[in-house]
């Protein structure tokens, strides 16, 4: 009997847990609706007061206004002026009409076994380097149906400027063709073009390649962003948003990708070998507009963009660095401080984003905890806001398993919230700045997007940067009417991704 009692003491008190859950829900409901709860008595008092007004009171009011005609005219003109000023200066709404992600053909499939075998066959890698890449691939969270560029898959490899140009044309033209087909927008209507590709910056630029191919109009505002890392896609969206504030009735085309053809590393410096294992072929095209007429058919409205740059700190600046090794071979080195730097960048970003999106109940808890720690010097853990109260969907850059694991833990997200990011990493690999759009396409293909849902896109990039974008769904997305890279195989997902997936090679 005593032993049974001891066992019972070790069982969690589920009744207490349930009670605490409902206490917290009640707290959030009370704070979130505090304004309405306070207004109800006030409206009641006003209604009671108005009910005592007689016809004589209304006549007296009319006489008062007639004898103060100039004051009435002045107030009316002032109200019209202020209303006009507000309408002219308020930010323009930015709508995401539609977007497309490029899906290569099966001839460009790149299995994990292929990467290891090719590393052995090239001859430039030592046995230790091959073993290191194999170990990374086994733990990276990538599956066997990712894609790579034609020049890399050929044997012998054909890594040259011409192949890199062909890769860009294949990916971006494919994505742009699809988004133009979906939206029916004439290319001559596009007034803004923003392209990002960090490591491949040819002359003429990629934006010029697009202008030439689609014969875009001569006065188009075109921008080509380079060297800004995996978060450059959201920087492109933010730049397009700023331009749409000053150019009325416009369309903005954003194209995001990372060319892999010229950016494989063929040395033996371990910090530079990781990118060989993670990065894969992919790209996206996004059509934005500030036309009020586009609201009806658009998928999302852009609510916030928040950009954080930690480049003033030397450790942050150098944690993702393109350089030459001791044998003059170029690669991108990832520092051991990367995860710590990313955590600090995220913390700074959500400090700005939190007040914009979190309910008052969460902001109040955060403020109380902050005052207790900083002012009262109480030894308590910092309060991590519950962002699940602000967003229904999370698109976290699929940079690698370690990044996703860290954010899942820090933001206290569920497997369901992380599913789009993990499945994108598994199916398409790290496609750099375009990965966020494959993730949003996954949620659409699963039928998860409902009208009014809010989506938080989070991306990290060299420099070091952390950028966020918040979207609100303007309509419920019907997966049966959508065509994206997941459509034909969405029923196969989610899949179980083991912590270590062994690679069998000869």
Catalytic residue among 230, 264, 395, 466: 230
Burial-class residue 167 by CB neighbours within 10 Å (0-12, 13-18, 19+): buried
Identify the active-site residue in 101, 197, 264, 397: 397
Q: Which residues pair with 469 in a beta bridge?
A: 305, 457
Identify the active-site residue in 263, 430, 467, 484: 430
- CA distances to 23, 225, 316, 458 from 465, rounded to whole Å, are 38, 14, 9, 11
What pLDDT score does 36 carry? Answer: 63
Question: If you ran DSSP here, which 8-state letter would residue 176 be given?
Answer: H
* pLDDT score recorded for residue 9: 45
pLDDT of residue 24: 55
Structure tokens, 286? 């996004």
In whole angstroms, what is the distance from residue 338 CA to residue 163 CA?
31
| Pairing mode of beta strands 283-289, 95-101 | antiparallel
What does the alpha-carbon distance between residue 494 and residue 128 come to, in Å, rounded to a whole number?
34
Average pLDDT over residues 199-222: 96
pLDDT of residue 125 exceeding 80, the answer is yes
Residue 220 has pLDDT above 50, yes or no: yes
Residue 21 has pLDDT above 50, yes or no: no
Mean pLDDT of 154-183: 95
C-beta atoms surrounding 183 within 10 Å = 18
- Residue 242 pLDDT > 60, yes or no? yes
CA dist., res. 406 & res. 408, Å (int): 5
pLDDT at 11 over 60: no
For the residues 295-308, what does the mean pLDDT come to?
97
Instruction: Let me know: does 255 contact 210? Beta carbons within 8 Å.
Output: yes
Residue 132: CB partners within 8 Å, gap ≥ 6? 270, 273
Among candidate residues 393, 395, 417, 484, the one labeled active-site is 393
Dump strand ranges (E) for 208-264: 221-225, 251-257
* Mean pLDDT taken over the chain: 89
Catalytic residue among 196, 309, 395, 467: 309
The answer to whether the bond into 204 is cis (omega within 30° of 0) is: yes
Q: Is 463 helix (H, G, I), strand (E, B) or coil?
A: coil
Worst-scoring range by mean pLDDT, 64-78, 340-354, 424-438?
Answer: 64-78
C-alpha distance across the termini of the chain, in Å:
60
Instruction: Summarize pLDDT for 59-70 with one digit per residue, the tens.
Output: 776 777 666 767
383: its two tokens = 């309060």
Q: Answer whether residue 2 shows pLDDT above 50.
A: no
Q: Work out the average pLDDT over 103-116.
A: 95
Q: In this structure, what DSSP letter does residue 106 have?
A: G
Give catalytic status of residue 393 as yes or no: yes
pLDDT at 33: 61
Lowest mean pLDDT among 17-21, 90-94, 244-248: 17-21
Active-site residue, 417 included: no
Given phi > 0 = left and psi -120 to 50 = alpha, else beta, which region is 214?
alpha
Could you tell me the sign of the dihedral formed by the alpha carbons of 212, 216, 221, 224, in that order? negative
pLDDT score at 61? 67
Mean pLDDT value of segment 74-88: 75
Q: What three-state secondary structure class fits 330?
A: strand
Spell out a b/e string for 299-337, using b for 16 or more CB atoms within 10 Å of the CB, else e. Answer: bbebbbbbebbbeeeeebbbbbebeebeeeebbbbbbee
**pLDDT given at position 347:** 87
Whether 64 sits among the annotated catalytic residues: the reply is: no
**Per-residue model confidence (pLDDT) at position 35:** 62
pLDDT value at position 253? 98
> pTM of the prediction?
0.86
Cα–Cα distances in angstroms (integers) from residue 104 to residues 142, 145, 171, 434, in the given order? 17, 11, 8, 14
Q: Quote the pLDDT of residue 445.
A: 98
Percentage of the chain with pLDDT > 70? 90
- Say which range, 243-257, 370-384, 437-451, has the weakest mean pLDDT: 370-384
Q: Is 28 a catalytic residue?
A: no
Asked if the model's pLDDT at residue 376 lies above 50, the reply is yes
For the cut 90, the answer to whether the pLDDT of residue 189 exceeds it is yes
The answer on pLDDT for 6 being more than 60 is no
Q: Which band of pLDDT confidence, cut at 50, 70 and 90, is reported for residue 39?
A: confident
Give the model's pLDDT for residue 54.
78
- Going across the sheet that includes 251-257, the strands are 221-225, 190-196, 251-257, 283-289, 95-101, 300-309, 465-473, 454-461, 393-396
Taking only the tens place, the pLDDT of each residue in 306-356 is 999 999 999 999 999 999 999 999 999 999 999 999 999 998 998 889 889
pLDDT at 152 over 70: yes
Active site annotation includes 304: no
């Amino acid at each position: 009997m005593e032993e049974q009692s001891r066992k019972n003491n070790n069982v969690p008190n589920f009744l207490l847990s349930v009670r605490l859950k409902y206490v917290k829900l009640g707290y959030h409901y009370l704070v979130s609706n505090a304004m309405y709860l306070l207004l109800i008595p006030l409206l009641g008092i006003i209604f009671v007061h108005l009910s005592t007004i007689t016809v004589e009171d209304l006549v007296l009011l009319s006489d008062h206004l007639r004898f103060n005609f100039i004051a009435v005219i002045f107030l009316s003109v002032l109200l019209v002026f202020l209303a006009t000023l507000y309408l002219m200066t308020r930010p323009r709404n930015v709508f995401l009409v539609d977007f497309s992600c490029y899906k290569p053909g099966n001839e460009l499939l790149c299995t994990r076994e292929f990467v290891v075998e090719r590393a052995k066959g090239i001859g430039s890698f030592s046995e230790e380097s091959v073993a290191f890449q194999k170990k990374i691939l086994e733990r990276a969270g990538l599956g066997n149906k990712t894609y790579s560029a034609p020049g890399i898959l050929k044997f012998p490899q054909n890594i040259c400027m011409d192949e890199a140009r062909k890769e860009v044309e294949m990916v971006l033209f494919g994505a742009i063709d699809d988004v133009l087909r979906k939206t029916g927008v004439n290319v001559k209507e596009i007034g803004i073009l923003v392209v990002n590709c960090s490591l491949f910056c040819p002359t003429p630029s990629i934006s010029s390649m697009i202008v030439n191919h689609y014969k875009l109009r001569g006065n188009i505002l075109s921008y080509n962003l380079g060297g800004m890392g995996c978060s450059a896609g959201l920087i492109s969206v933010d730049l397009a948003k700023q331009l749409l504030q000053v150019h009325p009735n416009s369309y903005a085309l954003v194209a995001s990708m990372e060319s892999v053809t010229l950016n494989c590393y063929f040395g033996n410096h371990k910090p530079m070998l990781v990118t060989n294992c993670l990065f894969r072929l992919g790209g996206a095209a996004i059509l934005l507009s500030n036309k009020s007429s586009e609201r009806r058919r658009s998928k999302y409205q852009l609510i916030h963009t928040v950009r954080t740059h930690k480049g003033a700190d030397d450790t942050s600046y150098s944690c993702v660095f393109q350089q030459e090794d001791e044998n003059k071979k170029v690669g991108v080195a990832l520092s051991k401080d990367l995860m710590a730097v990313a955590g600090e960048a995220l913390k700074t970003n959500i400090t700005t984003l939190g007040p914009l999106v979190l309910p008052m109940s969460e902001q109040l808890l955060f403020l109380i905890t902050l005052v207790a720690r900083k002012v009262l010097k109480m030894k308590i853990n910092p309060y991590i806001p519950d962002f699940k109260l602000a967003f229904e969907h999370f698109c976290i850059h699929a940079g690698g398993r370690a990044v996703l694991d860290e954010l899942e833990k820090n933001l206290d997200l569920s497997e369901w919230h992380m599913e789009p990011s993990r499945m994108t990493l598994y199916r398409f690999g790290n496609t750099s700045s375009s990965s966020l759009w494959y993730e949003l396409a996954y949620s659409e293909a699963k039928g998860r997007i409902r009208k009014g849902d809010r989506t938080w896109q989070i991306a990290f990039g060299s420099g070091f940067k952390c950028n966020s974008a918040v979207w609100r769904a303007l309509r419920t997305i019907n997966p049966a009417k959508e065509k994206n890279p997941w459509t034909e195989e969405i029923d196969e997902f989610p899949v179980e991704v083991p912590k270590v997936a062994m690679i069998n090679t000869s």
